Structure 1
Amino acid sequence: MESTTDLTVATWSPPDPRTAATTLAAAGASHVGRVRKVNEDAHLVAPPVFVVADGMGGHALGDVASALVIESFTPLGGRGSATPAEVEGAIGRSRVTIAAIDADGQAEPGATMVSAAYVVESGRGYWLIAHVGDSRAYSWRDGELEQITHDHSLVQEMIDAGHLDAAQAAVHPERHVITRAIGPVGNAQADYSLVPLEAKQRILLCSDGLTSELSDRSIASILSNEESPEDAVSSLVEAAVNMGGRDNVTAIIIDVVDCAPPAPERDDTVPLGRVQA
């Protein structure tokens, strides 16, 4: 597919003997889309951390801001696991570096982000999901798609207040207005979720360029039909571009090929949304 970045792939197992049987396979891809001239998205596939960052549309130097988010997380790559403090520190560093950008009188640059970090608690593996803005994380397992993150956006607040439903939000003229970002909007804090690692689980991280073009049902269908993470992520990005590609499109797929020791029961987490494929 033209203008797609080189596909990034990785296979990884943690060195800790307690969790060494865990195997992750991951792939990430990005596309500038059909409208934008610059790709302001950036992504990182560097086990045990995975990150998607989206430079804020309409703000100066969005591509620089998203690159600085990735740069802040890069030192965590190659470790046996991450810690909540390290993830929080990476987000904090990105705030500092983005705030230091000289916008030369233009609007302040900023970025949304979503990350998944492999962490170990009480000898078991978990995903620590962090996000700011409307970039999203999903979990796919046993034919069900669950949205882990909750958008920091104006339309999400309107949905929460009962003023809009999901169908109305999808076409609302202010659907791209976010209420939190790294940089402007009050240097807003990240939200965190701790999700148990489960065998045969897929984690999807993506920018809003994907979710603004594809419904949850379309995403679920692709995740169900594509076996490898590289095929799944390529199909997701291509489908979003073919549906219009009005924004940059970036996605990361992480497959839990195997998981040890046995993961906790799935009802340890409360899904925010569920779609049957």
Structure 2
Amino acid sequence: MSAPLIVSAGAATHIGLRRTLNEDALLSSAPVFIVADGMGGHEAGERASAAVVEEFSPYIGRSSLDIDDVLEILSRSRAAVDALSASAMGRAGTTLSGVVLANVDGMGYWLSFNIGDSRTYRFSDGELEQISVDHSVVQELLESGELSVADAATDHRRNIITRAIGAGSTGDADFWMFPAERDDRMLICSDGLSSEVSDEQISQILAVESDPQIAAAALIDEAVSAGGRDNITVVVVDAVSVASRPGVQMRADDDIDEETRPREAVAGGMG
């Protein structure tokens, strides 16, 4: 039986123009597509992000994962990162954002999760939608109305996060589950992209570059050209074939009718 969701992906990372160490890590192989942005300095951040990737790596090659799988991996990831701090690595920590391919009654779904201020977006029908919600001081100020969107981009607190894996945080990840649709393009990135490149510029690149690897590289180049003040990591995932109902596969170039169209996406925290 075919997998309910078949994808094509591209990924790229860059140290940026001001850092001496790349503390970002990524995994881009079905069914796991994640970006982790480490913190802690003195190699602690680099090892923290790598530890999370290592915990997800054994699941590569499976057709899908479910939320219990991800919760178990996150629990092991937190233990691994906490162990780094305990072994004199300093206050090791990392953000994490991404998607895994999921199977709901034979239909292809995206299972998205986030902790920290790395981000996951969906680009569909020419529209860019941020799926994840930043765990940051600035995001909390935006939600309370104490800070405007225009001021948020330059606020001196924009790099202060409120949840992480490690770094003394016990905050949980947020989850979203929604059906995949043909032509979906998922973007996962560290804040080295989102802090340098506007949503409009991101949308333009995702619309023009049809190859996910070329799109990922183009986004990196744009962030470097804008200043590259942080490490930059990008993963682009395209839905190539989607089962909208058990046994029915849709490729991205297939015609579909309303009977086979998946239900509308449902966004909402599950954690």
Report the counterpart of residue 146 of structure 1 in structure 2. 129
Report the counterpart of residue 31 of structure 2 in structure 1. 48
- Cα gap change, 1:17/1:145 in structure 2, threshold over 3 Å: closer, same or farther? same
Deviations 1:199-246 (A, max 9, x none): 001000000010010111111111111111011000001100110000
Q: Taking every aligned residue pair, what percent have the same amino acid on both sides?
A: 43
Counting matched residue pairs gives 253
Report the counterpart of residue 210 of structure 2 in structure 1. 227
Long gaps (5+) in structure 1: 1-15, 271-277
Long gaps (5+) in structure 2: 245-259
Contact 1:126 1:194 in 2 (8 A): yes
- The equivalent position to 1:126 in structure 2, one of 80, 101, 109, is 109
Report the counterpart of residue 91 of structure 1 in structure 2. 74
Q: How does 1:27-176 map to 2 (within 5 A)?
A: 27-56=10-39, 58=41, 61-102=44-85, 107-176=90-159
Report the counterpart of residue 9 of structure 1 in structure 2. none
Report the counterpart of residue 265 of structure 1 in structure 2. 263
Q: What is the CA distance between 1:264 and its match in structure 2?
A: 2.1
Q: What is the CA distance between 1:87 and its match in structure 2?
A: 0.9
Hey, what's the Cα distance between the residues in 1 that align with 2:243 and 2:69? 23
Contact 2:11 2:216 in 1 (8 A): yes
Report the counterpart of residue 257 of structure 2 in structure 1. none
RMSD over aligned Cα, in angstroms?
Answer: 1.7
The TM-score with structure 2 as length reference comes to: 0.89
Query: Match of 1:88, SS?
Result: helix
Q: What is the CA distance between 1:84 and its match in structure 2?
A: 1.0
Report the counterpart of residue 252 of structure 1 in structure 2. 235
Contact 2:107 2:242 in 1 (8 A): no
Q: What is the CA distance between 1:90 and its match in structure 2?
A: 1.0
Contact 1:60 1:103 in 2 (8 A): no
- The equivalent position to 1:26 in structure 2, one of 3, 6, 9, is 9
Contact 2:97 2:114 in 1 (8 A): yes
Per mean C-alpha deviation after superposition, the further-off stretch among 193-202 and 257-266 is: 257-266
- The equivalent position to 1:192 in structure 2, one of 153, 171, 175, is 175
Hey, what's the Cα distance between the residues in 2 that align with 1:64 and 1:116? 21
Query: Match of 1:53, SS?
Result: strand
Per mean C-alpha deviation after superposition, the further-off stretch among 261-270 and 75-84 is: 261-270
